Structure 1
């Protein structure tokens, strides 16, 4: 008894609010981007895929500065000195971010210059400098410049009558120092047009030559400044504050307000300045004085700026041997060869795992709904749809066919605002009832409901997902979709649409848990249930797959679970503010991150529940924004074969010893060392399994697969 009391006393002394128990969000995100960068270094990846990973680290970093660093800068300007989850002030965070970003940029350019470009040269693809051009190259570039580029380029002088131009963020600019006839120093700028490819292709008998468009402009710069001496011409790049806040209570028309704010994004406060390392003193000082960027946010670059444009190299056609072997998402054996999708869903629930299984089944579900005379209504939420979308086409067609179509378009989805506003207008024009989300909340839940009149009465068919209804990214992002027509789910989804489109209060949910009202509470309750089971001598076990773990309340209850011997395994791709290996607190928690060919995006929650596992999929990550400021859904999966399917998927993620990196007590992520017996890559295994499963199905049917209706 004395020993038990001592343990209780020891537990009481643990302060789970101690800042040292948590990792800063921004630094954790940068660690994730380092893991993406490691893929660019990884010699196991095909060459052009390595270029892609390097491009992604650059575009990721740009968005990070536009949103996260911009927010911290704003706090500093407002003299806010509050502490984050790890006990850092905004100023301290900015200093640490600058240190990590400098290291990241250095590693990016070492990867490019010392590894990737030399390997590209071995494949007869060369990035040329001006002095390496031959006569034929020069002839082509001369013609290309004069007929195509020169008419578009606009030099901008800076003097008393022409103040410093508001240069757009993210693009590459050329700064020019000039001298007039009197020897006076003048400055001008040339924004490099983004409507042209960054890399100009020069075909030759010996492979492919590439030439940067800014080098082309520099080569013919004299044509822009006749009568002036060009002292120096050097590249720079501005990153601007890309976030904007909207007073939704005040905004009379949300669309107009957002469209107005989008213009501000192009001219927002500078939060990062990249300059060429060899930029002269005069030009550098001029830029620093004009732009008023803090020195911590000025980065000198040793090669060409903006590595996100390397995506052009990764997408080069004719070099398929330097890319991943092509993989086509496999048809689901539940749907393939069967014409009536509603009949299939009536018989049983169906899970789809994208991109291993085809998203075409979701598109087909909507196509049948828009053409079926028995379908009365379609309701859908749209968060990120993309530029070309068969989903939008079928919603429009459904409205034209007389269906009642209601679409909740989240026009506040960051960096997709313009796309979503355009789609919203198109849908309204076609007769759809369009709702622009809720005041103060983003609608992030992924829901599609089809209302159908059948002999037995009105029946509702539901699709819910962890990922967006984006036709393009479903081939690049890993996600899970769920079809059902069970009445308990249907009632909840109907009720949720009523909340989103009208003035209905949230009901008592039958199946779903919904943020911001019940989802977080349910997750904490499920974790606490594992604690109680463990306290009573049972085996507590939790497996969570999510993109981010930041919410302090959730982390605290996971720490408590670990302190009570609950076995916790977390598969967190990105931000993780939880620390592992803290004696007496997080000894029983393991965290791994997997970065690979596909972007890990699904959220799966597993709770052992004393031998009767509870499994959920969700649109929500474990972040305050998802749990408190967004509409999200936590969806229970109850059909036994589907539960087992999710368990098998989670087990594969935990077995990965090829792409997995495990979080260490030091905060580092180290690659898992593969056992000598077998290397396991979860993404490769899931591709193989999907192919094998479908081929086995075809063989079992004992018919030629070409007799089946085809997926598009």
Structure 2
């Protein structure tokens, strides 16, 4: 596949026209934090949102900020298209990051008090009664002590490897003969201790029988109280937590790698020694301990002093483990099986009659699983071809594909080994599929395969027929319960021919295809999108109906932003539903006054990509795996698939309309890069995700926005 050729646009480039990608991402994470702060959100769900803030920030620091740090170290001083040099951007990120973390921990303290009122308490060792202390002492000696490994740092023992994002304790020690208050010129001793990640971070403390109260103590608190058992002959002057984040981005030389799988395994091992990017330390850390850490990690400008437990991502597991508090959670979603396929013994027979759309998580991912499983056991199926980007830990799809290969079917699986932070899991799946006899392909050199597509080729009475599933999200039955995504089943001939051609390009040496239906990145998707934006602009100039509605996760490609500006200036009404990063400034007179941008952050992660073009009164609608980001449009194999069925087009329009009408969880982007909540005003409150749970609300005609 070749990268799309560049085009000239006529927007006068100025940094004032754009919002910075990294700062826009920080505003997104602030919106996630707002969900943790929202008193109308159930309490345990607020804990989950607070956990997500931490996880998001970890990835941001280990990848995006790490990239900025690398540029600074390389002496790169050129401004990006938003007007920032790497050094200037880093300074702004740190300033906003400090405020975000301070607000995060303020929220943590508020949630802790609220949980206390519900009988759920985080307590310290000194607050335990005698019986509880005895139980915790026994727990420490029986389950924790054998696992702990104190690591001294001195001339004979250099600083040990500190794993990225692990919680450690920095221990400052003096020999026992040192008497407090006496003059002592001896330098303290220093050691570190990893808080085991394979044990529960939070430990439930026994309470009186029949008590409704639940009490928990953190593992590091218990270790600190028993630190003397690990350093006999020494007194601990201080014991405080720290946490290091390293650069976790993989640097691959794919063209020279003889075996991509082995190269990625090598780089995963090297990731452990990634350059330090961020240091988090417990508030009030001993000056000697801090000096030791700074000397070792050489992190001077990216230090966060934390007033509370380091790494709040553990709150996700804690919230999920609490039993008997259903009133503090969202009610379980009742997923429907798609009515068009419900109780269909023969999915293929149903799909020969009509195309079918599935909207997750409101409709069950079981429909996708059943489609692939039925294909795997169908003697008339000759071949199954599928892309896998992120798969769940115990995926039934893997079992089905393996079974199909073992039974003699031609099974081809494109496994993306470079899916960030899922590399090890995907390597394991790739090996399992190969052992079963599947043809496993790792994609194209220099490109990630991010398209979500399955092709089933079946022998039928009238010849071979192709059955295709195209999705906006991963083939992952776990995240399909948490993300909003679209899946399309079709037997359309043009889509089928394009699907075969796409797999031939990815697995073989086929020349770029003249796509009949698809837009495919990096070969032609951007050109096709720009062509459609320009067509809307021409229609607006001629007085024809012109409108664009696009829903995706991020918008950061400068050319796409410029083309949207030009369409706005031509009079096209543009409504964007962008969950995360957005580099476009909406509502700027003379530039983007016809553009609105909203972001919806709610119970489920908005993940579907839907593009609507008015086309002079003959609407075109596409679903896609791609966001409008440079990496998606130029460095990944992505797919944009048209929807031809008019009833499914109407359903997708209704989904878009629901999002546009949201006045509860929607925030509107302002020209200054900040977001303001959409106010209901005289309208009835409408929460798009909760409305969509009522299934019929998006399968029937929705009112105009």
Bucket of the pairwise TM-score, normalised by the shorter protein: over 0.9
The structural deviation recorded for 1:15 is 4.8
* Superposition pairs of residues 678-693 of structure 1, within 5 angstroms: 678-690=684-696
Pairing partner for 2:302 from 283, 297, 306: 297
In structure 2, the partner of 1:274 is 280
Query: Does the 8 A contact of 1:409 with 1:435 survive in 2?
Result: yes
Pairing partner for 2:560 from 541, 554, 558: 554
Matched, 1:165 2:168: no
* Superposition pairs of residues 444-455 of structure 1, within 5 angstroms: 444-455=450-461
Q: Distance in 2 between matches of 1:545 and 1:487?
A: 27
Matched, 1:368 2:374: yes
Matched, 1:26 2:29: no
Matched, 1:474 2:477: no
Query: Does the 8 A contact of 1:535 with 1:564 survive in 2?
Result: yes
The structural deviation recorded for 1:206 is 3.8
In structure 2, the partner of 1:195 is 198
* Superposition pairs of residues 153-232 of structure 1, within 5 angstroms: 153-180=148-175, 181=177, 183-204=186-207, 205-232=211-238
Query: Does the 8 A contact of 2:21 with 2:582 survive in 1?
Result: yes
Report the secondary structure of 2:695's partner residue. Answer: helix
In structure 1, the partner of 2:424 is 418
Q: Distance in 1 between matches of 2:478 and 2:12?
A: 43
In structure 2, the partner of 1:701 is none
Matched, 1:356 2:362: yes
Report the secondary structure of 2:331's partner residue. Answer: coil
In structure 1, the partner of 2:434 is 428
In structure 2, the partner of 1:104 is 100
* Superposition pairs of residues 303-382 of structure 1, within 5 angstroms: 303-315=308-320, 316-382=322-388
Greater shift, 671-680 or 124-133, is seen at: 671-680
In structure 2, the partner of 1:152 is 147
Q: Distance in 2 between matches of 1:290 and 1:677?
A: 58
Q: Distance in 2 between matches of 1:206 and 1:520?
A: 58
Cα deviation, 1:25-56, whole Å, max 9, x if unaligned, reads: 10000000000000000011000000000000
Cα deviation, 1:479-520, whole Å, max 9, x if unaligned, reads: 000001111111000001000111111210011010001100
Change (3 A) 1:482 1:675: same
Query: Does the 8 A contact of 1:48 with 1:313 survive in 2?
Result: no
In structure 2, the partner of 1:698 is none
* Superposition pairs of residues 259-270 of structure 1, within 5 angstroms: 259-270=265-276
Matched, 1:645 2:641: no
Report the secondary structure of 2:465's partner residue. Answer: strand
Q: Distance in 2 between matches of 1:561 and 1:677?
A: 30
Query: Does the 8 A contact of 1:356 with 1:690 survive in 2?
Result: no
Matched, 1:42 2:38: yes
Cα deviation, 1:40-75, whole Å, max 9, x if unaligned, reads: 000110000000000000000000000001111111
Change (3 A) 1:62 1:517: same
Change (3 A) 1:13 1:243: closer
In structure 1, the partner of 2:122 is 127
Q: Over aligned residues, Cα RMSD in angstroms? A: 1.5
In structure 2, the partner of 1:659 is 665
The structural deviation recorded for 1:126 is 0.3
Cα deviation, 1:506-536, whole Å, max 9, x if unaligned, reads: 2100110100011000000001000000111
Query: Does the 8 A contact of 2:692 with 2:698 survive in 1?
Result: no
The structural deviation recorded for 1:307 is 0.9
Structure 2: gaps of 5 or more residues: 1-7, 179-185, 701-705
Report the secondary structure of 1:62's partner residue. Answer: helix
In structure 1, the partner of 2:523 is 517
Matched, 1:67 2:59: no
Query: Does the 8 A contact of 1:179 with 1:228 survive in 2?
Result: yes
Q: Distance in 2 between matches of 1:153 and 1:574?
A: 40
Q: Distance in 2 between matches of 1:484 and 1:15?
A: 40
In structure 2, the partner of 1:6 is none
In structure 1, the partner of 2:410 is 404
Q: Distance in 1 between matches of 2:296 and 2:699?
A: 62
The structural deviation recorded for 1:269 is 0.9
Change (3 A) 1:253 1:692: closer
Greater shift, 494-503 or 138-147, is seen at: 138-147
After TM superposition, the score normalised by the length of structure 2 is: 0.95
Structure 1: gaps of 5 or more residues: 1-11, 695-712
After TM superposition, the score normalised by the length of structure 1 is: 0.94
Query: Does the 8 A contact of 1:330 with 1:690 survive in 2?
Result: no
Size of the aligned set, in residue pairs, is 681
Matched, 1:501 2:507: yes
In structure 2, the partner of 1:136 is 131
The structural deviation recorded for 1:179 is 1.3
The structural deviation recorded for 1:13 is 13
Pairing partner for 2:12 from 16, 24, 33: 16
Moved over 4 A (4+): 12-15, 690-694
Query: Does the 8 A contact of 1:199 with 1:312 survive in 2?
Result: no
Change (3 A) 1:557 1:321: same
Matched, 1:395 2:395: no
